[in-house]
Amino acid sequence: MAPPGADARLLDVEGLIARYPVPRGLLGAVMRRPQLTVKAVDGVSFSVAAGEMVALVGESGCGKTTTAQTVIRMVEHQGGSIRFDGTEIGSLNPRELRPLRREIQIIYQDPYESLDPRFTVRDTIEEPIRVHSLVARSEDREAKVHEAMERAGLTPPELFIDRYPHELSGGQRQRVAIAAALVLEPKLLIADEPVSMLDVSVRAGILALLDGLRRDGMGVLMITHDLSTAAHFADRIAVMYLGRIVEEGPAREVVRNPQHPYTKALISVVPRRDPDQRTVPQILIGETPNPVNVPPGCRFHPRCPAAEGRCKETDPELREVVGLDPLHRAACLLL
Amino acid sequence: MSSRPPVIRVEDLHVWFALPGGGELHAVQGVTFELREGERMGLVGESGCGKTTTILAMMGLLPATASVSGKVILEGKDILIGGEETISPHRWNDIAMIFQGAMNAFNPVKTVGAQIAEPMVLHGLATRKGARLRVAELLDLVGISGDRADRYPHEFSGGMRQRAAIAMALACSPKVLLADEPTTALDVMVQAQILELLVSLSSTLGQELGLTVILVTHDLPVVAQVCDRTAVMYAGQIVEMAGMSEIYHDPRHPYSRMLFAATPDLLGDEEVASIPGAPPRLDREIAGCPFRPRCDSVFEPCATLSPPRREPVAGHEARCHLNDPALTEMAS
C-alpha cells in the first residue's frame, strides 16, 4: 500500500499510446478512403510497485487488455514510455527483449484455451525453462517444476504433474498457467481477467494465490471488468474509459468515494450481494463511443450526466482532488 | 399473492443422461418448486449442478440421450406426461426460453426483424404482414425502436442483440420466461439495463405481461438484486430455496452460506473464501449428503443419511441435517 516512490516503481508507464489501423479493404484502398485508426490506448500513465497489485478496470473495449499487451510489447505502441525496473523497454528490439520476457509474465482469462491439450502439466510448466535454456539438468528442471506447482497450490505435485488439461478442473488449469508463469520467477505478473471463466467457488482461491504472490514481493497488474473483485484484492484501482485512465487511487477509496462521473455510474450498476441493499442503477445513456471517433474535449462528455459547456472543449488531465488522498486522482474538469 | 395458484410447478423432476461408455449421469435429482404469476426466481449454482438441464427439461428440449421423470404442471396440467406431444403446444406459447449466448446466435445474413418473425410465420401464427407489425411491437417492448427491425445483427450492439433475443422469446406472449445466464457476457452497464428490462416485463401485473421469470445464473449478486426468491442447486438437487433476504441473512444450508462468502461484495470488508474441493460426480450413487466432502459443518449423519427436504421456517426449505433438531441433539 506504500505510495510508490520513483525508485520503488517496478513498472512505470507514461503517456502510452497504441493505435490499430482499421482495415479499409481493397475498395477502400483503391478509392483512397482515409485510413482510420482505433485509438485503443490514448495516453495512459500508471505504475505498479513491487509487492503491489494494481487493477485496471473498465468495460469491454476500454483498452485495458491492449494496455497490458503493449506493456509486454506484444502490441506495438506509437508513443509514450514503458519503464520496467528502471530500464526503458519501449524501444528494445526483440533480441534485447528476450531476457525481459522472463521477468514479466502474463496469464489469460481462459485456462481452457491457454493450455496446449497435448501437453501434460509437466510439459506446460517446463516449456518456459527450456525456451529460455535456464536449467540444463533434467532433475533440476523437475525440481523447478515441482516448486512452481507448490507455489501455485497444485499440491502434492505428483498428483497433477502427469495429467493433461482435460483431466483438470478450470481452477486447476488456471493454477497450471500460473505455475508456468512462476517457474521463470518473474518480477511482474499480468493477470488478464484471471477468474472470469471460473466458478464462483474457486475464484477466491485463485485470487488469494495472486494476493500471496503480491505479498511475497511480486508486482501484479490485474485486468478485470469486475469492480467487486478489484475492490477486494487490489491495492489500487485505475478505471479506464475509451483508452484513458479517468480515475485512479487506493482501491477502497475509489469504490467508496468515486469522483469521476463515469466511475460513479459504473459503481452504481454493480449488483450488491445483500438483497436488502438494492442498488439504484444510474444507467448512462448511449453506448461507449467507438474509439475510432473519440469525442473532443472530455471523452466522456456525451454520456456524462454532469457535463457542462467547457467539457466539450477541454480534455481533462488526471489530477489530485482537493480534500482527498493525494493518490486518489481523477480526470474531470468539474472537480 | 399467496392465494393465487402457481403458474408453473415442477414436481420431483429427474433427468438422466446415458453416457457413451455405458452408465448414466443423474443430472437432476428430484427438483421441486413452483412459481406464481409475476414472480422472479433465481436458480443458482456452480457449473454442472443441473440448473440449465432443469429448465431445458421444462421446455422439453433435452437431447435424445436424456430420460426424464417427474411433472411440469402448467396451470394445473402436467405437460410432461405425454412427452413431445403434450409439451410442444406449450413451448414458446406458454413457456419460453432465452438460451445462453442467444445474442451471438443470430444469423448474420438475415435482418433481426426477419429472424424474430420467422418462427411466427412458420408456426402459422401470423401472416408475413402481421408478423412485421408484431416484430415492431416486440422490439418496442424490449426498448428497441421498431424501425431497427430491418437492420442486420452486426449493426446491433451486444446489449441490443440480447434485447432482440428476449423479444424473440416473447413472440408468442408466454407466461413463463426461462432466462439462462442472460447477462453473463455483457458489461455491467448493459447488464443493468437488461436486468431492468426483465424486472419491468415481470412486474406489469394484471396487464398482458406479468411474466413469471426464472433466472439461471452463477452470479449471486445479480439474483440478489433482481429476484424475489432463489433456489440454490448442488449436485442435481435444490439444496436450499427461500426468499432472497432470508437466504442471505439466515442461510439454512452451508453451501448457500459458503457461496455468498465466496462472492466478493463491492463495499464488503469480509474475507472472501473459496469453497474447497469440487462437486461430486453424478454418474454414481452418492452416500449421505453430496456436499459433505466440501462442507465446514459436517456431523455424524452426513456420511450415511441423504438429507431430505425440510422446511425449518415457512417458505424456507433446505436439504441439510442441521435443520433436523432430532439429529443435531443426538450429535451434541
Concatenating the DSSP letter of every residue in A57-69 gives E--TTSSHHHHHH
Whole-number Å distance between alpha carbons of B33 and B242: 11
The reported pLDDT for the residue numbered B191 is: 93
What is the number of CB-based contacts under 8 A between chain A and chain B? 110
Per-residue pLDDT at A212 exceeds 70: yes
Q: Cα separations (Å) of B302 from B218, B288, B295, B310, B332?
A: 26, 5, 10, 15, 14
Which residue from B224, B226, B262 is facing A203, i.e. has the nearest CB?
Answer: B262
- CB contact, 8 Å: A130 with chain B? no
Per-residue pLDDT at A4 exceeds 50: no
**Nearest alpha carbon to residue B240 among B257, B225, B223:** B257
Whole-number Å distance between alpha carbons of B275 and A202: 6
The reported pLDDT for the residue numbered B210 is: 83
What percentage of chain A carries pLDDT values higher than 70?
A: 98
SS3 B187: coil
Q: Cα separations (Å) of B64 from A85, A176, B68, B244?
A: 59, 36, 10, 36
Which residue from B196, B248, B264 is facing A274, i.e. has the nearest CB?
Answer: B248
| B250 to chain A: closest CA residue | A274
Question: To the nearest whole angstrom, how far is the Cα of B325 from the nearest Cα of chain A?
Answer: 28
Whole-number Å distance between alpha carbons of A145 and A124: 9
Cα radius of gyration rounded to whole Å, chain B: 21
Q: Report the DSSP pairing between strands B176-180 and B95-98.
A: parallel
Whole-number Å distance between alpha carbons of A248 and A26: 42
Whole-number Å distance between alpha carbons of A88 and A84: 6
Q: Could you read off the pLDDT tens digit of each residue along chain B, which spans 332 residues? A: 445 789 999 999 999 999 988 899 999 999 999 999 889 999 999 999 999 999 999 999 999 999 999 999 999 999 999 999 999 999 999 999 999 988 888 999 999 999 999 888 887 888 888 899 999 999 999 999 998 999 999 999 888 999 999 999 998 889 999 999 999 888 899 999 999 999 999 876 545 568 999 999 999 999 999 999 999 999 999 999 999 999 999 999 999 999 999 999 999 989 999 999 889 999 999 999 999 999 999 999 999 999 999 999 999 999 999 999 999 988 87
Q: Cα separations (Å) of A70 from A78, A85, A317?
A: 10, 16, 22
Q: Do B268 and A232 touch (CB under 8 A)?
A: yes
Whole-number Å distance between alpha carbons of B185 and B99: 12
Question: To the nearest whole angstrom, how far is the Cα of A239 from the nearest Cα of chain B?
Answer: 14
Across chain A, how many H-helices and E-strands are there? 11, 12
Domain total of chain A: 1
Asked whether residue A254 is domain-assigned, the answer is yes
Question: Do the Cβ atoms of B162 and B182 come closer than 8 Å?
Answer: yes
Query: B-chain residues within 8 Å CB-CB of A270?
Result: 188, 221, 266
The reported pLDDT for the residue numbered A1 is: 43
Whole-number Å distance between alpha carbons of A325 and A332: 16
The reported pLDDT for the residue numbered B250 is: 97
Asked whether residue A82 is domain-assigned, the answer is yes
The reported pLDDT for the residue numbered B182 is: 94
With an 8 Å Cβ cutoff, the interface of chain B facing chain A consists of: 46-47, 157, 159, 187-189, 191-193, 195-196, 218-222, 224-226, 244-245, 248-249, 258-260, 262-268, 272-275, 278
Residue A61's CATH number: 3.40.50.300
**Nearest alpha carbon to residue B190 among A265, A222, A65:** A265
pTM here is 0.91
**Which letter, b or e, does each residue of A139-157 get, where b requires 16 or more Cβ atoms within 10 Å of its Cβ?**
eebeebbbbbbebbbbeeb
| Span A45-64, average pLDDT | 95
- CB contact, 8 Å: A265 with chain B? yes
Lowest mean pLDDT among A27-41, A149-163, B57-71, B311-325: A27-41
Confidence tier at A322 by pLDDT (50, 70, 90): confident
Q: Do B225 and A271 touch (CB under 8 A)?
A: yes
Q: Cα separations (Å) of A111 from A53, A193, A278?
A: 21, 11, 34
Asked whether residue A40 is domain-assigned, the answer is yes
Q: Do B188 and A287 touch (CB under 8 A)?
A: no
Q: Do B264 and A256 touch (CB under 8 A)?
A: no
The reported pLDDT for the residue numbered B207 is: 53
The reported pLDDT for the residue numbered B206 is: 45
Confidence tier at A72 by pLDDT (50, 70, 90): very high
Per-residue pLDDT at A288 exceeds 80: no
DSSP for B60-73?
Answer: T---TTEEEEEEEE
Q: Cα separations (Å) of A53 from A82, A216, B10?
A: 18, 12, 47
What percentage of chain A carries pLDDT values higher than 90?
A: 76
Asked whether residue A210 is domain-assigned, the answer is no
Per-residue pLDDT at A6 exceeds 60: no
Query: A-chain residues within 8 Å CB-CB of B245?
Result: 275-276
Q: Give the domain extent around A74.
A: 1-23+36-93+219-296+318-335
Asked whether residue A198 is domain-assigned, the answer is no
- CB contact, 8 Å: A59 with chain B? yes
Q: Report the DSSP pairing between strands A244-250 and A236-241.
A: antiparallel
Angle ∠(B73,B79,B81) on CA atoms, nearest 5: 110
Question: To the nearest whole angstrom, how far is the Cα of B122 from the nearest Cα of chain A?
Answer: 34
Asked whether residue A119 is domain-assigned, the answer is no
DSSP for A13-33?
Answer: EEEEEEEEEPP-HHHHHHTTP
Whole-number Å distance between alpha carbons of B241 and B42: 9
Asked whether residue A171 is domain-assigned, the answer is no
Asked whether residue A311 is domain-assigned, the answer is no
Whole-number Å distance between alpha carbons of B277 and B292: 10
SS3 B10: strand
Beta strands across the sheet bearing A104-107: A104-107, A188-192, A219-224, A53-57, A236-241, A244-250, A329-330, A319-320
The reported pLDDT for the residue numbered A296 is: 93
Q: Do B266 and A255 touch (CB under 8 A)?
A: yes
Query: B-chain residues within 8 Å CB-CB of A206?
Result: 274
Query: A-chain residues within 8 Å CB-CB of B248?
Result: 273-276
Strand ranges in chain A using DSSP code E only, listed in sequence order: 9-21, 37-49, 53-57, 79-84, 87-88, 104-107, 188-192, 219-224, 236-241, 244-250, 319-320, 329-330
Give me the count of residues in chain B.
332
Q: Do A204 and B225 touch (CB under 8 A)?
A: no
Question: To the nearest whole angstrom, how far is the Cα of A73 from the nearest Cα of chain B?
Answer: 27
With residue B311 as reference, give the H or E element that holds it. Answer: strand B310-313
